[in-house]
């Protein structure tokens, strides 16, 4: 099951590195499901913050030298209200105080900016927290993000699924995702599930909820309204407006996103993928009459993958930071000779399949049972949220349609999809050229590295990328 829910509370602009350190420490093998507090604004969102605190299993607070936003009509900041709400709800509270001996920028100190009574309010809160009066939790001091990570790992136990199960009755239906429409394609299902799973973060992100793409939708926005928009709105409008997020301060954000930004990036990309699939279908560019898994594709790799997804009905799982789908992998040397006595090539094909999904070289002499390989594949599918897809070159033995179909049927016994892409720009009709050019331009704006230029990531699926998978 999902790990324990931990509410992470702090002021945001001054403690961003510290918040990221906590997430890195606790959300991997430690297994916590981190629930974020979020940027305060004039809207009465603090009440939702309190509700989120109450729905979590535990609370972790980080306090620096900023007191934070005080909602209208309240005498305390959101940060202090969250701390008190966790105590009143009987939650386990973990508290980390940034030492005054640490390095602070002037903008991160109320005493320098003049906010909140020139620092008097944060001074009172820090004094209160350090008094250890009553039932206040014991706090730990830290000097920087690295020291905080060590302190957090020392203070918190690894999460077990039992906490989430015990608490499930208090949070009925909170994480239950309604089923998508019965006629939804796999790409549409992936968008539907992502919108519902991450709706709390998406709805409170101003760049998402304020996007011009959604300006004609009646308020309040809901996951279902956005899903219907992606399925029904004019395809060209979706392709032009959905990538707007990836301009300005969010340029290259696909390659440098925080967890919360990653959910937003993934939502916009999934909308684009659904629209792109519709674009191919509306162009009459998808020939579904033939049984052959060969596909004449456009030159652009991402466009050709969407064309294949539209033709063969599979999903594409892109994780922020990667520009190759984590669920699509090449088979370089499929060797199965179907119909030959003993089908001697099958063990080698299975060994290559096993290595390919882990992005490794095949190990000679490996001969996995089909049952073992099937369970390895199921585990990865669960993590990525969609089926695995293999690609192979339509060359050699696989220049023949019957050989391609036989390999497709064999991989189908593992629920792995297969197609054979062949770049054939000159043979595609003019309308498909136009669709491909539209999509190439759209994807270029999303996967631009111009602003960040981080090192190119290895295209290997993370051990558990399901939450952020596209």
For 109-132, how does the pLDDT look when each residue is reduced to its tens digit (9 = 90+)? 999 999 999 999 999 999 999 886
Q: Exposure of 407 by Cβ count < 10 A (0-12 exposed, 13-18 middle, 19+ buried)? A: buried
pLDDT category of residue 421 using cuts at 50, 70 and 90: very high
- Cβ atoms of residues 381 and 469 within 8 Å: no
- Over the chain, what is the mean pLDDT? 82
Is the pLDDT at 470 greater than 60? The verdict is no
The distance of Cα 301 from the centroid of its chain, to the nearest Å, equals 21
Cα separation, 318 vs 255, in Å, equals: 12
Is the pLDDT at 31 greater than 80? The verdict is no
- Average pLDDT of 334-349? 57
Alpha-carbon torsion angle 125, 130, 136, 137, nearest 10: 120
- Cβ atoms of residues 325 and 384 within 8 Å: no
Is the pLDDT at 288 greater than 70? The verdict is no
Give the pLDDT score at 282. Answer: 83
Q: Half-sphere exposure of residue 452, counting CA atoms within 13 Å on the CB side?
A: 20
- Average pLDDT of 134-139? 75
- Average pLDDT of 438-442? 93
> DSSP letter at 342?
G
Q: Where are the beta strands (DSSP E) in 223-372?
A: 294-297, 328-330
53 compared with 335, residue with greater pLDDT: 53
Is the pLDDT at 211 greater than 80? The verdict is yes
pLDDT per position as a tens digit, 253-276? 888 777 778 899 999 999 999 999
- Cβ atoms of residues 246 and 262 within 8 Å: no
Of 354-358, 362-366, 381-385, 452-456, give the range with the top mean pLDDT. Answer: 381-385
30 compared with 233, residue with greater pLDDT: 233
Integer-rounded Cα radius of gyration of the chain: 25
446 compared with 287, residue with greater pLDDT: 446
Name the pairing type of β-strands 389-391 and 328-330: parallel
Domains of the chain (ranges, CATH numbers): 5-171 (3.40.50.10140), 294-424 (no CATH)
Give the pLDDT score at 331. Answer: 84
Is the pLDDT at 465 greater than 60? The verdict is no
The number of beta carbons lying within 10 Å of the beta carbon of residue 406 is 18
Provide the 3-class DSSP secondary structure of residue 334: coil
Q: Which sign does the torsion angle of CA 277, 358, 294, 442 carry?
A: positive
pTM assigned to the model: 0.60
Helices (H), 168-258: 186-197, 199-203, 206-209, 223-232, 235-241
> DSSP letter at 105?
-
Give the pLDDT score at 122. Answer: 95
Identify any residues that bridge with 141 across adjacent strands, giving them in sequence order: 97
Give the pLDDT score at 284. Answer: 66
User: What are 159's two structure tokens?
Assistant: 């999460």
């Amino acid at each position: 099951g999902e790990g324990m829910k931990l509410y992470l509370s702090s002021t945001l602009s001054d403690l961003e590195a510290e918040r990221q350190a906590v997430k890195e420490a606790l959300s991997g093998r430690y297994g916590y499901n981190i629930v974020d507090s979020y940027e305060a604004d004039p809207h009465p969102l603090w009440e939702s913050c309190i509700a989120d605190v109450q729905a979590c299993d535990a609370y972790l607070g980080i306090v620096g030298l900023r007191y934070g936003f005080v909602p209208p009509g309240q005498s305390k900041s959101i940060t202090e209200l969250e701390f008190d709400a966790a105590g009143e709800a009987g939650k386990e509270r973990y508290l980390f105080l940034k030492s005054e001996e640490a390095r602070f920028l002037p903008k991160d100190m109320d005493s320098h900016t003049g906010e909140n009574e020139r620092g008097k309010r944060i001074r009172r809160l820090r004094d209160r927290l350090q008094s250890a009066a009553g039932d206040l939790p014991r706090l730990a001091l830290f000097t920087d993000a690295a020291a905080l990570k060590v302190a957090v790992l020392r203070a918190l136990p690894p999460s077990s699924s039992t906490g989430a199960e015990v608490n499930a009755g208090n949070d009925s239906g909170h994480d239950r995702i309604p089923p998508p429409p019965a006629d939804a394609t796999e790409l549409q299902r992936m968008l539907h599930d992502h919108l519902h799973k991450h709706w709390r973060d998406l709805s409170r992100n101003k760049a998402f909820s304020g996007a011009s793409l959604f300006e004609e939708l009646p308020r309040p926005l809901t996951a279902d309204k956005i899903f219907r928009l992606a399925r029904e709105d004019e395809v060209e409008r979706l392709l032009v407006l959905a990538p707007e997020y990836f301009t300005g301060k969010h340029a290259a954000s696909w390659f440098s996103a925080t967890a919360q930004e990653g959910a937003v990036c993934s939502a916009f990309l999934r909308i684009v993928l659904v629209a792109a699939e519709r674009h191919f279908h509306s162009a009459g560019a998808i020939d579904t009459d033939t049984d052959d898994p060969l596909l004449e594709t456009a030159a652009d790799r991402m466009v050709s993958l969407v064309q294949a997804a539209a033709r063969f009905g599979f999903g594409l799982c892109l994780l922020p930071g990667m520009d190759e789908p984590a669920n699509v992998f090449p088979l370089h040397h499929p060797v199965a000779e179907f119909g030959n006595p003993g089908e001697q090539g099958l063990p080698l094909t299975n060994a290559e399949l096993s290595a390919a999904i882990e992005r490794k070289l095949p190990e000679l002499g490996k001969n996995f049972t089909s049952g073992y390989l099937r369970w390895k594949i199921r585990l990865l599918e669960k993590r990525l949220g969609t089926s695995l897809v293999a690609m192979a070159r339509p060359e050699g033995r696989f220049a023949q349609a019957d050989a391609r179909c036989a390999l497709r049927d064999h991989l189908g016994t593992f629920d792995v999809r297969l197609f054979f892409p062949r770049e054939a720009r000159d043979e595609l009709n003019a309308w498909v050229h136009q669709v491909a050019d539209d999509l190439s331009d759209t994807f270029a704006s999303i996967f631009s590295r111009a602003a960040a230029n981080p090192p190119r990531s290895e295209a290997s699926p993370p051990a558990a990328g399901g939450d952020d998978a596209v």
